[in-house]
Chain A
Amino acid sequence: MKPAPFDYVAPATLDEALAVLVERGDEAKVLAGGQSLVPVLALRLASPAWLIDLNRIASLSGIRRLESGELAIGALTRHRMVERSDVVANANPLLASAMPWIAHVQIRNRGTIGGSVAHADPAAELPGICLACDAMLTVQSRRGRREIAAADFFKGMFETALAADELLTEIRFPAWPAGRAYGFLEVARRHGDFAICGIATTVDRDAEGRIADSRIVAIGLADRPLRLTAAERALAGTKGDRDAIEAAAAAATSGLTARSDLHASSEYRIELAQTLTRRTLMQALPSQTRWP
């Protein structure tokens, strides 16, 4: 399983990379961590004439907490760096909790957060986390720079809003509100495999303890991460007690059909989405669900 021949360039700066992308774009593939791309090349599912290696561009990697409280992570930051970061653990506990679910340590040592998000595998964790956190994705090209909301970024299976000459350069997570509760669970065939279905949940309550806002995002269910808005609506204004959680779980997948593949039927995915909605809400709101 050897790749077809390709030529190779490893630009040292972002500007160089963007220039090469313009010059070679339609016959090139961009190499970040390579954990998804290289198997594709090995299986000859793609045979680009050029490989543009971003790994020498130091400016694309880094984790910063901004004064606003936002968390800014360079696209080429390795999963493992995010996983080990105290800054991330403090600035976005949901993101931190999802990291150990991503594949295995060797993959996390090379794979990048930007690579995963730009690759947009429907069952990947990071696109779901971005959606659940209303992340902003910074995208650059020779033509300029733009910010795309996560909700507008994921278009379909392996499909994003990135134009052919654009690179994802940074992901910014909004400041984590005080008192926000969260949950994350995933069912896969084996530890580290792509999720059959996973749910990322955030819950924000008002001063009276009523749920003011929530995000319940499913991964693996559809061709892209999906907000289960029916569940979010069922929760809104409630105290998030057992009945509210049951109602949210029951409503979670109404009107939805799920993907079906070798490993799981659409019915199974729907069942999991409901169960994991309930369980992540119980993770987020444990005091609400204690038996009397």
Chain B
Amino acid sequence: MNAPDRALAKDGHVGAPTVRGEDQRFLTGRARFTDDVRLERMVHAAVLRSPHANARILGIDASAARETKGVLLVATAADLGDRRSPIPIRLAPLPGLERFLQHPIAADRVRFVGEPVAVVVAESRYIAEDALDSIAVDYEPLDPVTSIEQAMQDKALVHEAVGTNIGSHYHVSRGDPQAGFAKAEYRRKERFRCHRHTAAPMETRGLIAEYDGAVLRVWGATKVPFFNRRVLAKMLASPESSIEMIETDIGGGFGVRGEFYPEDFLIPWAAMRLRRPVKWIEDRREHLMATNHARETECELEIGMKRDGTIVAMRATVMADLGAYTRTGGGVAIARVPQFLPGPYRIPDYACEVFALFSNKTPVGTYRGPGRYEANFFRERLLDMAAADLGLDPIALRERNLVSAAEIPYDIGKLVPYEGPNAYDGGDFHSAYRQALAAAGYASLPRNGALIGGRLHGVGVACFTESSGAGPSESARIVARPDGRYEIYSGVTTMGQGHETVFAQIAADELGVPLLAFQVFHGSTAYVDEGWGTYHSRAIVVGGSAVKIAAQTMRDKLIAVAARRSGLAPGRLRLSAGAVIRVDDSSTVLDVARLARAAEEGDAEALDATHVKARFDIKMRTYSYGSHVAHVAVDPETAQVEVLSYVALEDIGRVVNPLLAEGQAVGGAVQGIGATFLDELVYDESGQLLTGSFADYLVPTSTEAPPVTAILLEEAPSASNPLGAKGAGEGGIVATGAALANAVANALSPLGVKITALPLSLNNLAASIRAARRKK
């Protein structure tokens, strides 16, 4: 197990494995998650959800519910009237997807099990749920579309008016794939499948909305509160300035929480109707059917190589099941697959045809490493298959094809319709690869189906690239207070990553005061004029950079004020321990706390230096990269797999806090390892979600989590931001499906087992083993 390396710490706070200051409130039960917030006269909402995957609504009779004691409001589409504009796309507007937007409540049609049909508000959640039971909805069930195959056939349609289930269909390419394949001495084509699963944070979604006649306050916002406020304002036809989004403590996001969902409109709307605070807390059963699903993608992948293993071309058809409606994440979930399919390998000639499909299932959004987990699995599996066919060592095959440091920046072309051409901006993929193999002790690991103690051993590797630091910008505000404290305000949101500590570290280095002097406020729209949020691993890269710039600006301004007032040149002054001091004799020239008091008493120059805003605009996408190595032992009789060791290595440019970065890597790796064996959202042919609770939707517990060695490198700092950092939030998960599938396939190679689909569940592996045995 890898303890954070204290040697990584340089002189200051950045680079130190600082423990989190914010932990105390979480450890003592004094955190403030959304459900912990109590407001006077608060009432409780519950949502009636469709039990059918595809049905017409012929009528809704809510009279019994309305008459129930303790019920204040029962609303259906009819009550919302013209307040029913659809929820817009926030990013990745693949052409065609805008035809599948979701209205916040179903009117005459439901398209997935879980779609909101009515909202009840009552004195307690208990009564609200009683009322739900008494609402009678007359449904006319229709044939649902429940698979990628069915979606492609366009026989049953999810949205008749659109006329097809193919929401978006496009091609991307670079080079000349046809010419590339013409050079191939070996070709292999396979169809792969990645399963539907989701993030399942420990805290379900929740909101509280309160309207006092002038201002609408919404608690529970996170991820992208400024965008969500814009959407809410538009949907309510209210000015943005009359809406405040407040971020509470958040119990995990992983991409699925914080997007604008139907309830993000319905609950504020109800609060405005009732003029009482309305709280809605999603229960776990709702969560599994209503919060974004992810990753259900099939890929027909073909690779062309020389006999020596040099890749000459790659070609793919990617089909993703996006569920019944386009969510705010637009086409991200699928658009990233073609982008990351080539990975860190030299593949000059590449083409991908993309089908974004709709079905009568829960809509799909972004989940940690969207598109990457899938793409890495497809590609790395095929590389191992090719290696086996050609009699080549899969390790050497990757060595041969990884883009070399000399070729960086490496132009990856324009592989995403709504983005320009991109390039891998820095790095040594071979160095990372070799270090991962060394850390795993690859050379001495039993593999290739070695039989030890009745189990077959295998090792799998996967190499990846990962983007981070999505733009366009982030803002930060720092205020120096008369009591010596500093307040940092950021537009970044936090779901457990420890940004409060990291931002304090960054600012402490610039301002020369201890970490304890800082208080960090984040997410709520009241804190900064404009914020963007946390997604695509941007919080430290973009948000942290904004904090750094704000802190540097404050430092420079404080020194400038001191210089002006003392007559000394700024070069003879520095900032230390809350004062501007002379470099030569360390005597105090200006006390910051006193200046802060002067600012509050009206001194304009003091105000300008103690209340500083900054904005960081990031101009380029930056790419981290790395490799995972998995060692497994498979019991061929029971199909049980034990992960004996797992190495997750990533170069993230600059490790601002090794303790927290390791936490992200290990957490992401275990989440991905669990997803590869356990997590699965399963529907039956009538579109019923069979995995409707934690009894059937399985996430890893402490006994399923293997030892993970997380290694973070700083060999390729990013040129895109003043920290030199790349995001650390997603690299841990993106190669888990790939490395483990390769490891299990390697272990079962003596049996001739073919692995092309996830999850590697007991039942799936047992079936694969059985099929291979029957062939023999």
| Bound form: Cα–Cα A272–B763 in Å | 11
B645-700 contacts to A (CB < 8 Å): 678, 682, 690-691, 693, 695-696, 698, 700
B762 touches A187 (CB 8 A): yes
**Stretch touching chain B among A55-63, A76-84, A124-132, A261-269:** A261-269
Known contacts A4-B133, A43-B285, A267-B770: does B678 contact A272 (CB below 8 Å)? no
Q: Hey, what's the 0/1 contact readout for B342-370 against A, CB within 8 Å counting as 1?
A: 00000000000000000000000000000
A192 to chain B minimum Cβ distance, whole angstroms, is: 7
| Bound form: Cα–Cα A265–B678 in Å | 16
B690 touches A262 (CB 8 A): yes
Q: Which residues of B contact A262 (CB under 8 A)?
A: 682, 690-691, 696
Q: Which residues of B contact A5 (CB under 8 A)?
A: 126, 130
B640 touches A187 (CB 8 A): yes
Q: Which residues of A contact B763 (CB under 8 A)?
A: 263-265, 268
| Bound form: Cα–Cα A271–B285 in Å | 33
B761 touches A189 (CB 8 A): yes
CB of B11 within 8 Å of the partner chain: no
CB of A88 within 8 Å of the partner chain: no
A190 touches B678 (CB 8 A): yes
B762 touches A189 (CB 8 A): yes
A281 to chain B minimum Cβ distance, whole angstroms, is: 14
CB of B129 within 8 Å of the partner chain: yes
B762 touches A190 (CB 8 A): no
A105 to chain B minimum Cβ distance, whole angstroms, is: 12
Q: Which residues of A contact B2 (CB under 8 A)?
A: none
Number of interface residues of B (CB under 8 A): 30
Closest to B128 in A: A2
| Bound form: Cα–Cα A43–B678 in Å | 23
B638 to chain A minimum Cβ distance, whole angstroms, is: 5
| Bound form: Cα–Cα A192–B125 in Å | 31
Known contacts A190-B701, A264-B762: does B638 contact A275 (CB below 8 Å)? yes
| Bound form: Cα–Cα A4–B131 in Å | 10
CB of A191 within 8 Å of the partner chain: yes
A271 touches B766 (CB 8 A): yes
CB of A193 within 8 Å of the partner chain: yes
Known contacts A2-B126, A5-B130, A262-B682: does B767 contact A190 (CB below 8 Å)? no
A43 touches B640 (CB 8 A): no
A1-22 contacts to B (CB < 8 Å): 1-2, 4-5
| Bound form: Cα–Cα A191–B703 in Å | 7
CB of B704 within 8 Å of the partner chain: yes
CB of B108 within 8 Å of the partner chain: no
CB of B36 within 8 Å of the partner chain: no
B415 to chain A minimum Cβ distance, whole angstroms, is: 37
B762 touches A192 (CB 8 A): no
| Bound form: Cα–Cα A1–B682 in Å | 21
A1 touches B284 (CB 8 A): yes
CB of B637 within 8 Å of the partner chain: yes
CB of A196 within 8 Å of the partner chain: yes
Q: Which of A44, A192, A268 contacts B703 (CB 8 A)?
A: A192
Q: Which of B284, B637, B700, B701 contacts A271 (CB 8 A)?
A: B637
Q: Hey, what's the 0/1 contact readout for A170-198 against B, CB within 8 Å counting as 1?
A: 00000000000000000101111100100
CB of B283 within 8 Å of the partner chain: yes
B698 touches A44 (CB 8 A): no
Q: Hey, what's the 0/1 contact readout for A247-277 against B, CB within 8 Å counting as 1?
A: 0000000000000001111011001100110
Q: Which residues of A contact B703 (CB under 8 A)?
A: 190-192
Q: Which residues of A contact B767 (CB under 8 A)?
A: 265, 267-268
B285 touches A1 (CB 8 A): yes
| Bound form: Cα–Cα A267–B761 in Å | 15
Q: Which residues of B contact A271 (CB under 8 A)?
A: 637, 766, 770
A190 touches B700 (CB 8 A): yes
Q: Which residues of B contact A272 (CB under 8 A)?
A: 638
Q: Which residues of B contact A192 (CB under 8 A)?
A: 701, 703
| Bound form: Cα–Cα A191–B678 in Å | 12
B691 touches A190 (CB 8 A): no
Closest to A260 in B: B763
| Bound form: Cα–Cα A55–B767 in Å | 45
A100-137 contacts to B (CB < 8 Å): none
Q: Which residues of A contact B704 (CB under 8 A)?
A: 190-191
Closest to B637 in A: A275
| Bound form: Cα–Cα A147–B523 in Å | 65
B314 to chain A minimum Cβ distance, whole angstroms, is: 35
| Bound form: Cα–Cα A263–B283 in Å | 24
B156-171 contacts to A (CB < 8 Å): none
Closest to A190 in B: B704
| Bound form: Cα–Cα A267–B768 in Å | 12
Closest to B762 in A: A189
Q: Which of B125, B698, B700 contacts A2 (CB 8 A)?
A: B125
B770 touches A4 (CB 8 A): no
Q: Hey, what's the 0/1 contact readout for A190-226 against B, CB within 8 Å counting as 1?
A: 1111001000000000000000000000000000000
A163 to chain B minimum Cβ distance, whole angstroms, is: 29
A268 touches B762 (CB 8 A): yes
| Bound form: Cα–Cα A193–B694 in Å | 11
Q: Which residues of B contact A265 (CB under 8 A)?
A: 763, 766-767
| Bound form: Cα–Cα A279–B679 in Å | 29
B354 to chain A minimum Cβ distance, whole angstroms, is: 31
| Bound form: Cα–Cα A271–B761 in Å | 16
A36 to chain B minimum Cβ distance, whole angstroms, is: 11
| Bound form: Cα–Cα A5–B124 in Å | 13
Q: Which residues of B contact A44 (CB under 8 A)?
A: 129, 133
Closest to A47 in B: B133
Q: Which residues of B contact A2 (CB under 8 A)?
A: 125-126, 129
Known contacts A196-B762, A262-B682, A268-B767: does B693 contact A43 (CB below 8 Å)? yes
B763 to chain A minimum Cβ distance, whole angstroms, is: 5
Q: Which residues of A contact B125 (CB under 8 A)?
A: 2
| Bound form: Cα–Cα A285–B701 in Å | 33
B752-776 contacts to A (CB < 8 Å): 761-763, 766-767, 770
Q: Which residues of B contact A190 (CB under 8 A)?
A: 678, 698, 700-701, 703-704
| Bound form: Cα–Cα A271–B766 in Å | 9
| Bound form: Cα–Cα A266–B701 in Å | 26
Q: Which residues of A contact B285 (CB under 8 A)?
A: 1, 43
Q: Which residues of A contact B701 (CB under 8 A)?
A: 190-192
Q: Which residues of B contact A267 (CB under 8 A)?
A: 766-767, 770
A38 to chain B minimum Cβ distance, whole angstroms, is: 13
**Which of A5, A187, A196, A275 has the most C-beta atoms of chain B within 10 angstroms of its own C-beta?**
A187
| Bound form: Cα–Cα A265–B764 in Å | 9
| Bound form: Cα–Cα A189–B637 in Å | 15
B698 touches A193 (CB 8 A): yes
Closest to B639 in A: A268
B224 to chain A minimum Cβ distance, whole angstroms, is: 29
Closest to B46 in A: A2
Q: Hey, what's the 0/1 contact readout for B385-420 against A, CB within 8 Å counting as 1?
A: 000000000000000000000000000000000000
| Bound form: Cα–Cα A243–B254 in Å | 53
Closest to A196 in B: B762
B748 to chain A minimum Cβ distance, whole angstroms, is: 15
Q: Which residues of B contact A264 (CB under 8 A)?
A: 762-763, 766
| Bound form: Cα–Cα A237–B767 in Å | 36
Closest to A5 in B: B130
| Bound form: Cα–Cα A4–B766 in Å | 41
Which A-B residue pairs are the 6 nearest by beta carbons?
A191-B703, A268-B766, A2-B126, A275-B637, A1-B283, A2-B129
**20 CB-based A-B contacts, threshold 8 Å:** A2-B125, A2-B126, A44-B129, A44-B133, A187-B638, A187-B640, A187-B762, A189-B698, A189-B761, A189-B762, A190-B700, A196-B762, A262-B690, A262-B691, A263-B762, A265-B763, A265-B766, A272-B638, A275-B637, A275-B638
Identify the B interface with A (CB < 8 A).
125-126, 129-130, 133, 283-285, 637-640, 678, 682, 690-691, 693, 695-696, 698, 700-701, 703-704, 761-763, 766-767, 770
List 12 other contacts, CB 8 Å, given A189-B678, A268-B767, A271-B770: A189-B761, A189-B762, A190-B700, A196-B762, A262-B682, A263-B696, A263-B761, A263-B763, A264-B766, A265-B763, A267-B767, A271-B637
